[in-house]
Amino acid sequence: MNWVTSTFGSSIGKKVLMAVTGLAFCGFLAAHLAGNLTIYGGKDAFNAYAEKLHALGPVLTAAELGLLLFALIHILTGLTLFYQNFKSRPVRYKVNKRAGGRTLGSGTMPYTGLLLLCFVVFHLLNFSFVDKTGTTIFAIVSKAFANPLYVLVYIFAMIVAAVHVSHGFWSAFQTIGASHPKYMPLVKGIGLVFSLIIGIGFGFLPIYISFIA
């Protein structure tokens, strides 16, 4: 087992852990969004989707535990990297200027990540760990989004998620070594489109529920 700790405990190993768990979250986001889009089919379609999902039982629990494990790895490794990188330059520059590599997404990864962690906790408390007896998920969601503050928080969180993903997606490919001048522009393009889909796709849902549905 020595090779496991020495491989994944190294700087590159930690990056790989971030990349693999991060890409898994991209997959989760895509699936979550696809499920949420049933809202456009009406109240019954959305409730039916939620029921079908929960009917999966142990499969769903396993998936949730998997996500929790991945989240722990992503958060703890991310915080370790953040701390180590902060320490790696004890005397900082008086003048800081970008040379053109750093983007809004790449420069804010630890901060957008921590904001997303707060959001995930908030989101789970709102819609997951609530008493669902005698009510439907649609009723819970539409009640929450009747409050404009919730709508604003959710839209802001989705913008943050889009910024996080805009760097995370292509960066994950670079980290696992899947980088080549031939296909990297395509990966970067897909990453940008994917982050826009996440931002707009999720971000428009609270608006739709509170004002249109």
Sites of contact with other proteins (CB under 8 A): 2-3, 6-8, 10-16, 81, 84-85, 87-102, 106-107, 109, 167, 170-171, 174-181, 184
* Shortest distance (Å) from residue 165 CB to other proteins: 14
19/151 with CB nearer other proteins: 19
**CA 141, CA 119: separation in Å to the nearest integer?**
16
Query: Smaller CB distance to other proteins: residue 55 or 87?
Result: 87
The residue among 132 and 188 lying less far from other proteins, judged by its C-beta, is 188
What distance in Å separates the CA atoms of residue 163 and residue 106, rounded to the nearest whole number? 9
Q: How far is the CB of 161 from other proteins (least distance, A)?
A: 18
Q: How far is the CB of 29 from other proteins (least distance, A)?
A: 20
Question: CB 116 → other proteins: shortest distance, Å?
Answer: 16
The position carrying tokens 């991945």 is 70
Cβ distance to other proteins smaller for residue 35 or 110: 110
Centre a 10 Å sphere on the Cβ of residue 23 and count the other Cβ atoms it contains.
17
Distance between CA 1 and CA 40 in Å, rounded? 49
Q: Which is nearer to other proteins, 113 or 201 (CB)?
A: 113
Output the DSSP codes for 150-178.
HHHHHHHHHHHHHHHHHHHHHHHHHHTT-
SS3 (DSSP) at 33 = helix
How many residues in the chain?
Answer: 213
Least separation in angstroms between residue 76's CB and other proteins is 14
Contact call for residues 169 and 198 (beta carbons, < 8 A): no
